[in-house]
Amino acid sequence: MTADELHSLVLTSYTLTDEDIDTLTQALAQGYLVSMMAAYREGASTVNATKDAREWEPSDKAVDEAMQWASEQAKGIAHTYEDMLTRWVQQIVEEQGTEKALWPKVSIEAQSVAAGLKAGISAFMGWKPKQVANATCGSGADDGTDALVSDMQDGTVMDASTNQAVDMTQYGVTVLPPESSSDVCKTVAGLVFDLDQYDEIIDLPAHSNCPHYKKIIQI
Ligand SMILES: [Zn+2]
């Protein structure tokens, strides 16, 4: 087997199919929308909003946008994975020397290729899904909190006790967890902002594996 043949064999055997990408898109969109809904409803309950806000659901437009976003994410993941497969094959071929890649001793070479791929794939599966899940749920939650604050700014979120628009001066937003090892998040983590400063706060998560999120609180 030549290095090129190995490369195309690995790509056809291990890359994600269109069906895999569709399944991944659905799962990502669902994770995003569920997180969005949970963040909106949790905030609505903190500000003592009426039942309709506590049972808020994303609009059809938001669902379409989530699907669009998820589809781009899924394609991006498939690309990253394909790039990594290519890199592993190159590494294995280099380790074995170029001329040796025209393998006379197929069984031995195939074993080492399989071992190399297995290690690479399990390493990828160890960190990538975690990173993607964090980015997906974090972005959904951030957008859910954005949607609630925007509705409050429009005066359409009603206080369950007074049946008037929620008094925004009674509430603020904080960024949790309060500590941060990243320079970007250090500027906001643990601080409390007035709701009229909300739009100045950075989008979260702000970086790979960023644990930060916004939480509406009483002040
Ligand atoms: Zn962060």
What was the pLDDT predicted at 123? Answer: 82
Q: How far is the CA of 112 from the centre of ligand 1 (A)?
A: 40
CB 174 within 8 A of CB 214: yes
CB 77 within 8 A of CB 179: no
Q: How far is the CA of 203 from the centre of ligand 1 (A)?
A: 10
What was the pLDDT predicted at 41? Answer: 98
User: Rounded CA gap, 155 and 149, in Å?
Assistant: 10
Mean pLDDT in residue range 197-214: 94
What was the pLDDT predicted at 147? Answer: 96
With a cut of 60, say whether residue 188 has pLDDT above it. yes
Q: Six-digit token pair at 156?
A: 């359409």
Q: How far is the CA of 124 from the centre of ligand 1 (A)?
A: 22
Q: How far is the CA of 38 from the centre of ligand 1 (A)?
A: 20
Q: How far is the CA of 19 from the centre of ligand 1 (A)?
A: 33
Question: What's the pLDDT band for 1 if we cut at 50, 70, 90?
Answer: low
Q: How far is the CA of 192 from the centre of ligand 1 (A)?
A: 16
Q: How far is the CA of 212 from the centre of ligand 1 (A)?
A: 5
Q: What is the pLDDT of residues 77-125, one digit of tens each?
A: 888 888 988 888 777 777 766 555 555 444 446 667 777 778 888 888 7
User: Rounded CA gap, 72 and 86, in Å?
Assistant: 21
Average pLDDT across the chain, whole number? 88
176, containing H or E segment? strand 171-176
Q: How far is the CA of 42 from the centre of ligand 1 (A)?
A: 21
User: Rounded CA gap, 15 and 18, in Å?
Assistant: 10
CB 132 within 8 A of CB 77: yes
Q: How far is the CA of 177 from the centre of ligand 1 (A)?
A: 9
What was the pLDDT predicted at 97? Answer: 63
What was the pLDDT predicted at 104? Answer: 46
Q: List the domain boundaries for the chain.
A: 3-161
Q: What is the pLDDT of residues 116-164, one digit of tens each?
A: 778 888 888 788 888 888 999 999 999 999 999 999 999 999 999 999 9
What was the pLDDT predicted at 108? Answer: 42
Q: How far is the CA of 41 from the centre of ligand 1 (A)?
A: 23
